[in-house]
Amino acid sequence: MTPYPALLDPLLAQLPGATFGTFAPGRVNLIGEHTDYSGLPVLPFAIQLGVAIAGAPRPDDAVLVQNRDGARFPPETISLRELVHRPARGCWVDYVVAGLRLHPPEQGCELLVAGDLPIASGLSSSAALVCAAALLFAPPRFDRLALAERARLAEQYVGTLSGGMDQAASLLGQQGQALCIHFRPLRVELVPVPEHLAIVVADSGVRAEKGGAAQQAYNERVQQCALAASAMGALPGGLLADVPGGQRSARARRLPDPVLAARASFVFAEAERVAEAVAALRTGDLARLGALLDRSHAGLTDDYQVGHPAVDRLVRAAKSAGALGARIVGAGFGGCCIALCRAANASTVAAALQRAGAVAAFPVRPAAGARQFSSGRASS
């Protein structure tokens, strides 16, 4: 039985006349960072934290979007006629609008949003908000694969050239399972995560907002990978996944532009690490999996240049406390790191991370994907 999210209860109580709601989880990406927008695989899982939205009908033709933290996230009222034409404004409501436009409401409504994910930390709070909004008026039996692809495109409304991992992880998550996600077409291979394996998330407190400098730096890397793909022989509009021939990592390193060479060689190596990580999970080789995370972090720091000193400090602290591997997670430029350890050692690693300056350190497990709720708490 999929658990009812406690996050929704205070929203239903606070919003008079609330009759429906949604919950969409964030995600942790074990490995496969910055590969999705090049059409190459990733290995994330949905987590227990996320974003909830409660809804109530209203008699007019407007949508009132509110946040439980109204001082930080001011409300906005949008007419139904304007919803699909509203330009992005660089505010939190953009993400709600991006999702609502996939299944627009047919009558006026009042929405109340809350989340327990640390924002701009690399755990996909923005995609969770888009997915929660997209589900509000979706039919009860919707195609999750199709909606994940549409949600990826929807998030581009806010200016981020999303690759699709975050939306797929939020919508397709399965309890106890990592998701080896392949693209073009979108498909998922379930990989069980053993109970004796612990993943500890540590939040550095350094925010990498999906707007401004962090968004610009992220989009720049998307464009650099596209240029590298073209330089390596992909057809116009092709991705690194479309580069023909073998030994792509070695060929990437020989590109004349050193920046493109570094970006492409990292992406190809990271995609290979995804396949190795799937094999390590299936055989229970935790030491091998930890070494893959370490190599991913080194590549993200050196070749991809998305690291941050505060996160590096946490990675070193995790390793010193006995973690099998650790790395920055998400787009980078701050946010969180993840530490892989044996379950028996998770509390020791978490305590060491907090001593090293983490504003929060907590274990996560693979959780169920996004779902809808009625006032009767039925889920899908």
| Residue 166 falls in the annotated catalytic set | yes
Q: Quick check: 67 and 113 in contact, CB under 8 A?
A: yes
C-beta of residue 282 within 8 angstroms of C-beta of residue 191: yes
Could you tell me where the beta strands, DSSP code E, fall in 107-252?
Answer: 109-115, 177-182, 187-192, 197-203
Q: Which of 36, 94, 166, 303 is catalytic?
A: 166
- Gap between the Cα atoms of 344 and 198, Å rounded: 8
3-state helix, strand, coil in the chain (%, to 5): 40, 25, 35
CA distances from 269 to 215, 250, 266 (A): 24, 10, 5
Token reading at 190: 């379930």
CA 47, 50, 54, 55 torsion-angle sign: negative
CA atoms within 13 A on the CB side of 68: 18
Reference 241, options 189, 181, 317, 294; nearest CA is 181
Residue 205: strand, helix, or coil: coil
Helix 125-135 / helix 93-100 crossing angle, nearest 10 deg: 40
Contact 42, 278 (CB under 8 A): no
Using CA atoms, how far apart are residues 236 and 293, in angstroms rounded to an integer?
A: 33
Residue type, 203: D
Structure tokens at 133: 């909004």
Residues annotated as catalytic (active site), given as ranges: 166
